[in-house]
């Protein structure tokens, strides 16, 4: 499943791992919330953060070292040079076009259809897509996905084999929908320069209840609202903005 850890791309992988842990170390050495929680004995978030970093590094190595579909030998004559089983070959409709057999000029192996030789990995790769410099590995037939739904002759058997995956996929879909809705709603509020509290209870807020339904005294235009929220650091004198006397910061 995995290539040699010390093979091609060793320096790239090492640099990525070192950079990841250096940044993590900086977050714990400087005056950050993680360090403050660690010093006060609140270890839940720091431990979860370290575990997430560790998990990301392990997943990075798994993807980086996974076999993308290297053609290492002409086993079974490349399964009739088509890369399919005998049963699958019988399903291929007859055609008058002949399939030209190719032999790689670098590794001298016969190439199945859609395969290509990677100059960096020095191997032919089945269903070659590209060589990714970030993981220092090819993207091919065997590392497009890790697992997925499988076919079954009945619904009962399908649920037994894929029920857990279906539940996880449904949960992820629901959580993703919630996150997207929250992102969209908050981006809308930020673009108007209003807060959730002001948006929900403006009829009870003294400085807003006299304003019209579409009137916002703090709205400085979409661009300036977004710029002020994401790019400006400091305390704003909102009274000045409210009375249109300027928006100088203190």
Cα–Cα distance between 44 and 32 in angstroms, integer? Answer: 15
Task: Catalogue the long-range contacts made by 8-13 (C-beta closer than 8 Å, 24 or more residues apart).
Answer: 8/120, 8/121, 8/122, 8/136, 9/64, 9/135, 9/136, 9/137, 12/133, 12/136, 13/60, 13/61, 13/64, 13/136
Virtual torsion, Cα 26, 29, 32, 37, nearest 10 deg? 130
Give me the catalytic one of 132, 138, 211, 231.
Answer: 132
Cβ atoms of residues 216 and 194 within 8 Å: yes
Ramachandran sector of residue 83 (left: φ over 0; alpha: ψ -120 to 50; beta: rest): left
Q: Is 236 exposed, middle or buried (0-12, 13-18, 19+ CB in 10 A)?
A: middle
Is 132 among the catalytic positions? yes
Residue 143's contacts (CB-CB under 8 Å, 6 or more residues apart) are 63, 66, 67, 68, 69, 137
Catalytic residues: 132
């Amino acid at each position: 499943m995995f290539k040699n850890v010390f093979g091609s791309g060793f320096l790239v992988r090492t640099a990525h791992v070192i950079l990841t842990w250096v940044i993590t170390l900086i977050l714990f050495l400087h005056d950050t919330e993680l360090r403050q929680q660690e010093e006060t004995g609140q270890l839940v978030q720091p431990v979860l953060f370290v575990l997430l970093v560790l998990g990301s590094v392990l997943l990075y190595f798994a993807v980086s070292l996974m076999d993308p579909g290297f053609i290492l030998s002409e086993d079974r004559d490349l399964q009739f040079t088509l890369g399919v089983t005998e049963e699958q070959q019988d399903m291929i409709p007859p055609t008058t076009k002949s399939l030209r057999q190719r032999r790689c000029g670098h590794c001298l192996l016969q190439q199945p259809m859609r395969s290509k030789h990677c100059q960096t990995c020095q191997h032919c790769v089945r269903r070659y897509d590209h060589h990714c410099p970030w993981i220092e590995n090819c993207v091919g037939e065997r590392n497009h996905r890790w697992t997925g739904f499988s076919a079954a002759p009945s619904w009962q058997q399908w649920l037994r084999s894929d029920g857990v995956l279906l539940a996880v996929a449904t949960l992820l879909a629901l959580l993703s929908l919630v996150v997207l809705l929250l992102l969209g709603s908050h981006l809308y509020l930020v673009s108007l320069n209003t807060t959730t509290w002001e948006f929900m209870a403006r009829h009870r807020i003294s400085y807003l209840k006299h304003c019209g339904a579409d009137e916002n005294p703090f709205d400085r235009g979409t661009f300036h609202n977004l710029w002020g929220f994401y790019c400006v650091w400091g305390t704003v004198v909102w009274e000045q903005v409210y009375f249109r006397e300027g928006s100088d910061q203190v």
